[in-house]
Structure 1
Amino acid sequence: MKLAILLHAYQPPTQYPHVTKEITKRSYLPFLETIERCDAAKITLNLSGSLIEQLIANNEHELLDRYKTQVLRGAIECTATAAYHPLLTKLPESEIFRQNLVNEYWLTRWMGDNYKKPHGFFVPEMFYDHRVGDAIEKMGYEWIVLDESAFPGAGVDEHGQHNTLSIAKHYYKKNNGNLGVFFRDRPISLAIAFDHDLTERSLLEMIQRHGDEAKDAYVIIAVDAETFGYHHAHNLNLLTCLCEQDEIQLVTLHELYQSAREFRFVEPVDSSWGISLEEHGSVRQFPRWDNPENKIQQLQWKLFNLAVQNGKHASGLPDDFDKSLHSDQFWWASKYPCWHPGMIEQSLGLYESVLGEDAKEIVQLREVLATEEVSVINC
């Protein structure tokens, strides 16, 4: 059977430089060293434009060159994405296209003459609706990866896990189009991200369970790159295990796509990789980003929509308007469980550049923020 690993490497444009440097030391560097040591490594990597910009600013040129070497030797396949990680369902098509162009700008800055347009597109937070799929297909990409909960009728159980292994017996394209659609294995991905007791052997057994059900089955693991090292130091051992084992064939996502003999057509449902059963199908489907009872988030969305409606782009790429649309501003205001007033304030600085510092919504949000706890809940 085949295993494709998709890692999402990103930091918001409002991230503090010392935090990006620490994550680089504990995650991006040791992850790279693991790939360099493994001759059979095959990783699909979304190295977002926002992170490339910060690595350049932090003088991580040698690190970026080493990543480039792994791309050129075929150990790493890159994806396209929206440079500053906005929720694409909230953007007009023109801004989706622009975020893609900005990301191409940063990929070209990194790869230089070796830049080639990626085959696949990473949807930030896997936050999807049919309009997003249409826009990605118009941009000429061949495939996307969504959460398993986006598969029609798949659902999730009371623990947030999927209820079937049968999805990964087949290959899929979006209805009425030619866009390939992969669905990540939710239980395995969540186990890597959150199960601190997960062992190398138990991980391999979880993956092989798919092969026991169908000879041609495949597994897609999709998690944040920071899962390996920064969030959990032990997970670097899991990555090493996956790269060095010889029981399961490692492939890039495009290799997996090319191996398909036939496709079934589906219409993925609205979803994200942060969804759970209790949220699915309810009014408050995505409370990490848009909780109607969260006063700060609602003011943030007013600012976001004002920026989209009234913001003007600079003549060059990128600009503060591009950056102001990032999704982390809502995440850090969610208290679900994340809370970081400093990151919220950093985002207000971008809105000041787009809308002016006297915009009443900025003033209102700062007034509400002043009444909140100053402590930080990291996650």
Structure 2
Amino acid sequence: MQWINFLHFYQPANTDYYIIKEALDKSYWRLVRLMEEHPNLRMTWNVSGCLLERLYDAQEFNFLERLAALIKNGQIELTGTAAYHGLLPLLPREEVVRQIEANLKIVKKTLGIKIKPAGFFLPEMAYSPKVAEVIKSLGYEWIIIDEVATEVKPCSFLVKDKISGLKVVLRNRKLSQTYPPTQILKSKSASGQDFMITATDAELYGLRHQDQTAEMEKVGKLKDLKTLTISEAIKELEKGESFVIDSLKLSPCSWDSTRTDIENGEPFKLWKDKNNVIHRDLWRLANLALSLDELFAKDINYEWYRWHLVRGVASCTFWWASEYDFSNVFGPYAWNPDIIERGLEDMIRAVRSLNDKKSKKYKLEAEDYYLKIKKNIWQRHWNKHWQN
């Protein structure tokens, strides 16, 4: 059996450090130790730049050094990504490029390594043809997205995006919504798939799921299991004389999109639901704040504007307003007024921080959105979610 396991390490840039520390202690350290103790294991990881920055600022140098060592020895393949986890299909091209380039700089600063990743992780696996074209133009070779992107069945896990020309790895959603080590142990003696591709949040391994029987560690000891990084798997497949990579037109989607969402023209419904007034007004404020970048690039407080902006438009600000229940896939109920409000505060502070007198009219418009959103968040919370 062959297993390709992709893990996404992320915590919002504006979260409290104790939340990061809990994920570090329960999941991140466990995974690093697992790789060190089983040098035969290979995985592909995305470690978001904003998380690396927080770990660096907290002087978690032992963890960062050991992570860097695993990358250097080839056990871990690190992907590119957007540093502050914005939902790229809903952001301007300039912001997409800026966050991708920022991530590479953060990796160099915090891990002490200069990398040129072949692969790219789209935050929330949020794919659109336009974003794929941007990623291709920046020199990346492949992306990983959910299999919901295509209706072609059966389909190889590796296809080619007809629009951008990128190689596309399709994750198995059913397997990825379980605890993968359990499925590996069940499958090793059974007939069926000899090839598994899973992609999950790294926090699944300890923080969200208590692996009391150490199934992941048991998987590490399997002698008949071959693990590969994504780039290794692509090369191995392409060596096969009979392998033909299908060129497909892929649907905009995320790793939580349904075919119904896609058919209804709302592939990113968890972040931008046309029937969710909080989403609507958050995006009005976000788009206003984003539009000021070029206008006030020479403002004396521009760096503070940027500091707050990237934190405010992170995908979490919108996701936590979606009111969707993820408890059946090791996740929470997606409603948290404090997290929504934290993103909202960063958005308004981005606009408030500008010093130029010409920004006054934008400030007043932003304040109107801000007050409206704040009122709606808490009215919805007390009326619908509190003690219910």
The number of residues matched between the two structures is: 354
Superposed CA deviations along residues 54-112 of structure 1, whole A, max 9, x for unmatched, are 11122211111111111112111100001111111111221111010111111111222
- Partner amino acid, structure 1, of 2:167: G
Question: Could you say which residue in structure 1 is the equivalent of 2:17?
Answer: 17
- Partner amino acid, structure 2, of 1:287: K
RMSD: 2.5
Question: Could you say which residue in structure 2 is the equivalent of 1:364?
Answer: 372
Larger RCO: 1 or 2 (CA < 8 Å, sep 6+): 1
Superposed CA deviations along residues 220-239 of structure 1, whole A, max 9, x for unmatched, are 21000001000002188343
CA distance in 1, matches of 2:32, 2:213: 10
Structure 1, unpaired ranges of 5+: 155-163, 212-217
1:306 matched to 2:288? The reply is yes
CA contact (8 A) 1:44 1:253 kept: yes
Q: Any idea what SS the aligned residue of 2:116 has? A: coil
- Partner amino acid, structure 1, of 2:232: E
Question: Could you say which residue in structure 1 is the equivalent of 2:251?
Answer: 269
Question: Could you say which residue in structure 2 is the equivalent of 1:55?
Answer: 55
Deviation of 1:370 after TM superposition, in Å, equals: 3.1
Q: 1:185 to 1:236 in 2, by over 3 A?
A: farther
Mean CA deviation greater in 50-59 or 123-132: 50-59
Superposed CA deviations along residues 2-59 of structure 1, whole A, max 9, x for unmatched, are 3211100001122111111111111111111111110211010100001101111222
Within-5 A mapping of 1:219-368:
219-234=196-211, 237-259=214-236, 260-261=238-239, 262-311=244-293, 312=296, 314=302, 319-336=307-324, 337-356=333-352, 359=366, 360-368=368-376
CA distance in 2, matches of 1:327, 1:184: 21
Structure 2, unpaired ranges of 5+: 325-332, 353-362
CA distance in 2, matches of 1:363, 1:346: 14
Within-5 A mapping of 1:182-201:
182-192=169-179, 198=182, 201=185
Within-5 A mapping of 1:151-162:
151-154=150-153
Q: Any idea what SS the aligned residue of 1:209 has? A: coil
CA distance in 1, matches of 2:274, 2:230: 37
Q: 1:332 to 1:236 in 2, by over 3 A?
A: farther
Question: Could you say which residue in structure 1 is the equivalent of 2:89?
Answer: 89
CA distance in 1, matches of 2:305, 2:68: 22
Q: Which has the higher helix share?
A: 2
- Partner amino acid, structure 1, of 2:29: L
The structure with the larger Rg is: 2
Question: Could you say which residue in structure 1 is the equivalent of 2:356?
Answer: none
1:150 matched to 2:149? The reply is yes
CA distance in 1, matches of 2:184, 2:225: 13
Q: Any idea what SS the aligned residue of 2:263 has? A: coil
CA contact (8 A) 2:305 2:351 kept: no
Q: Any idea what SS the aligned residue of 2:107 has? A: helix
Question: Could you say which residue in structure 1 is the equivalent of 2:327?
Answer: none
The percentage of counterpart residues that share the same residue type is: 27
CA contact (8 A) 1:8 1:223 kept: yes
- Partner amino acid, structure 1, of 2:48: S
Please report the TM-score for the alignment, with normalisation by the length of structure 2: 0.84
Q: Any idea what SS the aligned residue of 2:132 has? A: helix
- Partner amino acid, structure 2, of 1:306: L
